[in-house]
Copies of this chain bind each other. A is one copy, B any other.
């Protein structure tokens, strides 16, 4: 059954034996969503968490005026809403909406916590996963509070350079629309468009639709400014 191999590939369940995976499958609910569906809303009572099997799911917040801040775009193999599990009677802290047709596993809270109690390895994995999130949020706070849009975009671009790519002019292909990228960077599409244009004029990048070629990595790193950033990048990818 191919669901086993799906679970095994997911970092959250790495190192678990088949018996444990079987137990997980027993409590997992397989769900299908079509593009544009809302999985849950912010504030809604949370009784479990999700694991993405296929598709892309947008996790975001809304301001009172309707502005959208994307926290994360979830890809297959990644869990989301884990935070719901461990803080008493809890509610979802953001919205979740499918960007494409998607399949997910839904793990009800109480059953999953029972598994955790008898399964130290699973707990450790869970902790590792949540650490990743904390680091991601940490970066996001850094970006939003300490850097202007140019720096945020520069950081994003550096982050997106494919690993092991030692070419002089790495190529990045966006997996989302520029409007969505703008929202992730805490800005709006107009400003992103202007910033990209500025980078182009300064010879830092070349843009062709969703393809961006980095012409001057040095300049990008200077825009970011943080020395300590480099260290973190290694662990976040």
> Taking A64-B226, A71-B141, A93-B135 as contacts, is the C-beta distance between A124 and B127 under 8 angstroms?
no
Listed stretches A25-33, A79-87, A165-173, A204-212; interface member: A79-87
* Shortest distance between the CB of A67 and any CB in chain B (Å): 6
Question: A113: which B residues are within 8 A, CB to CB?
Answer: 124
Chain B positions within 8 Å of A69 at CB level = 141-142, 145-146
CB neighbours (8 Å) of A203 from chain B are none
For A83, what are the chain B residues with a Cβ–Cβ distance below 8 Å? 131, 134-135, 138
Q: Is A137 an interface residue (CB 8 A)?
A: yes
Choose from B62, B91, B186, B227 the contact partner of A232 (Cβ within 8 Å): B91
By a CB distance below 8 angstroms, the chain B residues around A146 are 61-63, 67, 69
5 A-B pairs with CB atoms under 8 Å apart are A61-B146, A87-B135, A88-B235, A91-B231, A127-B130
* Extra contacts besides A61-B146, A89-B235 (8): CB < 8 Å: A67-B146, A82-B131, A85-B127, A85-B131, A91-B235, A140-B141, A144-B145, A144-B186
Given contacts A86-B128, A117-B124, A124-B117, contact A61 B91 (CB under 8 A): no
Q: A residues within 8 Å of B by Cβ?
A: 41-43, 61-65, 67, 69, 71, 82-83, 85-91, 93-94, 113, 116-121, 123-124, 126-128, 130-135, 137-138, 140-142, 144-147, 186, 224-228, 231-232, 235
Q: How far is the CA of A135 from the CA of B93 in the complex (A)?
A: 7
A117 to B122, CA, bound (A): 10
